[in-house]
A and B are shown apart, each in its own frame.
Chain A
Amino acid sequence: MTENKEYKVVGTRPIRHDGVDKVTGRALYGADFQIAGLLHGRVLRSPHAHARILSIDTSRAEALPGVKGVVTAQDLPSAEDRIADLGEGAVNLKHLCDNILASDKVLYTGHAVAAVAATSPHIAEEACKLIDVEYEVLSPVLEVRQAMEPDAPLLHETLKTTSMGETADEPSNVASHIQHTLGDPEKGFAEADIIIERDFVTGTVHQGYIEPHNATAHFNQDGHLTIWCSTQGAFTVREQVAEILQYPISKIKVVPMEIGGGFGGKISVYIKPVAALLAKKTGKPVKVLMNRTDVFEGTGPTPASYIRVKMGATKAGKITAAEAYLAFEGGAYPGSPVGPGAMCIFAPYSIENVIIDGYDVVVNKPKTAPYRAPGAPNAAFGSETVIDELAEKLGIDPLEFRLINGAKEGDRRADGPVHPRIGFIETVETAKAHPHYTAPNGKKHHGRGIASGYWFNIGLESSVTINVNADGTINLIEGSTDIGGTRASIAMQAAEVLGIPAESVNPSVVDTNSVGYTAVTGGSRTTYATGYAAYEAAQDVKRKMIERAAKLWEVDVSNVQFEDGLFSSINGKEEQISFRDLCGQLSQTGGPVVGSGTVNPGGAGGAYATHVVDLMVDEETGKVEILRYTAVQDAGKAIHPSYVEGQIQGGAVQGIGWALNEEYIYNAEGTMTNASFLDYRMPTCLDLPMIDAVIVEVPNPGHPYGVRGVGEVPIVPPMAAIANAIYDAIGIRMTELPMSPDRLLKAMGKI
């Protein structure tokens, strides 16, 4: 159903609508929110990775002048051990509540234990130090394979492994085991001329958004709770807070402020319910802010993992079988993204015989949260490294190897679904023809690597309302928080329908009382699904405007046509009126025009990316320098190409950081020793070259303009691409992330 024509607005690069506010410092983010009578909240966090809470005494804190209230898990309604879907998949409510404020045990250093509201943030911080918590310290479990040992200390005495519908009798740190099989792997491996098997380890990494979590909450005397915050999903905050506080959603209004990055990490709630509890207790608005250490220690990173990949191929380069074992750390509670990791690991390829096992395992680290294509980057580090080795051993160009085996429309993924129209092959062909790939690469210690990646993308619900203005402009109301230019990409889709410039749309992201339900800004869904809702709302406006033109000309609506912003009468009367002029006549033709669009589309189009990297390894220091980077990606249709490029570049660079530097470093007691931006080293602009983002457009048949999501897949290939380039440079296969200087020096036998 994709419209196939030249577009006037779609594909152009207008200035984003919220741009001036954001370059002048006027845009208000969560922490910028001010209100009269505001109190400041701080959270006390556990110094232990694993301990039983024996007692909490808040009396000294409460006695400090300026302190207005202290809360602990005692202030939360007692949570049942039941499963609910709160907009980010199934959640166990007991786990959700315990992660907000620990009740019986603390399960990671940084686990929230109590919170204080005071007249200043400094007093709140001092008061936290006056809360006396007695702990019985337990042995921590800090690594996934250790946690799976039969004699490992247990995090949850009641957690039992579920494995394909069966629940085990004995408690374990393994929350679940999943398996996907296709064909006959044994037969497939028997047919192979070459088999490569390797295991891989990846570290815990954080989303690293620059804006810490924040929330301001206020309970009105009539029981209405308002929460102003940065979030990827205001409705998800409403649902989660309602469940945690056992409070009706009709009495909760969530006001999404501007958001300073999320990458999946600002879907889960942490301090929002705490701010609400403090507001309830004090009767005043309370603002709770995290500091950077809180963010590292107390919010979801993406998991460390242990992965084993085995693949076989014929001499001609055809993959005959693939096997994967994925063990992912869920952190303190179940919920690692091993599911999507297992679904994505071989998704770029058409393989007849596959077996994939995945394990979700709890360890004494913060509960993991989504991070850009959650699970897929870990998995692809393994599979794309093995693919590279197969191609190398067979003497086949790695892109050619991907062309031989690449998945196409109609091929079946190991986890079941059959691919619709996808653009993987197109990304490989584009990379192969790119001047980067055709340029020579032969200097000593210089290497080139390539890798590919897949991510599903999702649809989910979105709502958009359009109010037509008398001057020919429209006000577009949406519920998707704008993390990276989606006001523009959504507004442009409405503008395209109505034949007006992007600048004639005023998009607003509004609170949960003011727009229909809209799911999170996540899953690469916003330009796809909320854009789709904007398209539908604009179609609604168009229909209503056609009725007005018909009324004006006293003709039947079937005699009015709308094209390129112009209404015209067909069949007889020679009448024409522009969208703008008709807008000026609404009051004479029946009053205001409001259009609405709601969607829950099932046609999200999967995204593929193929990356090429050149790098240099410094043999003295083990440092890797990225020299050139090209990221090719199928966007379906790029609504605003600049922001699509931005997503690709940003995702690739997060991947570069993950590949080379980023990891949580723990001491033996299970405390992160690098919980600052100085020591958890994300790439700076000095670490990088320009990132050449190349957009391929294979339209998604499930969207009117062919949009696929673009935000997530660019983080999938970089780790393997860089590992493959390091191999090309120094002849060593790196199988542990990050590939930091010390690991490289060790691998080279220098230390």
Chain B
Amino acid sequence: MARKSHVQTTINGETVEFLCESRQSLLEVLRDELHLTGAKEGCNNGNCGACSVILDGRLVNSCLVLGVETEGKSVETIEGLAEPDKLHPIQDAFLENAALQCGICTPGFIMSAKALLDQNPNPTEHEIRYWLAGNLCRCTGYDKIVRAVLDAAAAK
């Protein structure tokens, strides 16, 4: 069995150390080693966006990043978004717009929307649709998701 590597990284603002095999993806590390299961595996090849996290400010599919690559970097996951007593405005907007049904894609969509609003606080509907095209949702038809992101942008 392959020897594990020691990795030190920052996750949701906290310094985290973990051991992982070099073949383990960031998604596997988050879920299996750190028990941060908010990022989901839908396809494991970068097509569905359910595992979206933000790595050093950039939106990535965590299934396409190796755990060892996060050494010295900063990872934001869905678990770090809400404050102890308050949801993030995007989370509120998803709830108010009923922008989720089964909810499996929701953490990925919310992280993706956050990455969008971090760099473009007032996106048009088309810009939202273009940005979120890397996230698949099979339940909603996207209507309410797009509205939620428009609302979250307006609320900021």
Which residues in A have some Cβ–Cβ distance to B below 8 Å?
13, 15-16, 18-20, 22-29, 31-32, 34, 65-66, 122-123, 207-212, 258-263, 289, 291-292, 483-485, 640, 642-643, 645-647, 649-654, 676-678, 682-686, 688, 690-691, 693
Contacts and interface: CB of A to CB of B under 8 A. Distances in A.
Contacts of B1: 65-66, 123
B142 A653 contact: yes
7 contacts: A31-B37, A643-B98, A646-B141, A647-B101, A685-B145, A688-B141, A690-B147
B136 A210 contact: yes
B106 interface: yes
Give chain A's interface secondary structure class: loop
Nearest to B111: A25
B138 A652 contact: no
A682 B135 CA distance: 11
Nearest to A206: B138
Contact of A646 (B35, B79, B98): B98
Contact of B43 (A23, A26, A677): A677
> What are the nearest 4 A-B pairs in CB distance?
A25-B38, A260-B104, A653-B141, A22-B103
B69 to A, nearest CB: 18
B16 interface: no
B98 A690 contact: no
A654 B100 CA distance: 16
Contacts of A262: 102
Given A23-B87, A684-B136, A483 B47 contact: no
B106 to A, nearest CB: 5
A211 B44 CA distance: 11
Given A643-B101, A691-B143, A31 B41 contact: yes
A31 B36 CA distance: 12
Interface string B18-51: 0001010000000100011111111111011010
Contacts of B37: 25, 28-29, 31-32
B118 interface: no
A261 B104 contact: yes
B95 A23 contact: yes
B141 A691 contact: yes
Nearest to B104: A260
B115 interface: no
A210 B44 contact: no
Contact of A25 (B78, B94, B100): B78
B115 to A, nearest CB: 15
Contacts of B154: none
A265 to B, nearest CB: 10
Contacts, number: 189
User: How extensive is the interface on chain B, given as a class?
Assistant: 35 or more
B105 interface: yes
B59 interface: no
A676 B47 contact: yes
Contacts of A685: 128-129, 132-133, 135, 137, 142, 145-146
B41 A25 contact: no
A34 B35 contact: yes
Nearest to B45: A676
Contacts of B77: 25
B65 interface: no
A34 B102 CA distance: 21
Contacts of A649: 140-141, 143-144
Nearest to B50: A210
Contacts of A485: 98, 101
B38 A646 contact: no
A485 B40 CA distance: 20
Contact of B42 (A23, A646, A677, A686): A677
A554 to B, nearest CB: 46
Contacts of B128: 685
A15 B107 contact: no
Contact of A291 (B44, B97, B98): B44
A261 B43 contact: no
Nearest to A656: B141
Contact of A211 (B23, B104, B129, B130): B104
B42 A211 contact: yes
A29 B104 contact: yes
A525 B109 CA distance: 29
Given A20-B87, A685-B133, A691-B143, A25 B45 contact: no
A25 B39 contact: yes
A28 B35 CA distance: 11
Given A23-B87, A25-B78, A28-B37, A260 B102 contact: yes
Contacts of B64: none
Nearest to A484: B101
Nearest to B46: A678
A262 B133 CA distance: 22
B110 interface: yes
Contact of A22 (B50, B100, B132): B100
Contacts of B147: 690
Contact of B82 (A24, A483, A640): A24
Contacts of B95: 15-16, 19-20, 23
A676 B140 CA distance: 21
B71 interface: no
A650 B140 contact: yes
Given A15-B96, A650-B140, A691-B143, A676 B43 contact: yes
Given A20-B95, A291-B44, A684 B133 contact: yes
Contact of B94 (A23, A640, A646): A23
Contacts of A32: 31, 37
B81 interface: yes
Nearest to A28: B37
A25 B81 CA distance: 10
Nearest to B98: A642
A258 B41 CA distance: 14
B44 A261 contact: no
B66 to A, nearest CB: 13
Contacts of B110: 23
Contacts of B42: 210-212, 260, 292, 677
Given A484-B101, A676-B43, 8 more contacts: A25-B38, A211-B102, A484-B102, A653-B142, A677-B47, A677-B48, A685-B135, A690-B147
A658 to B, nearest CB: 12
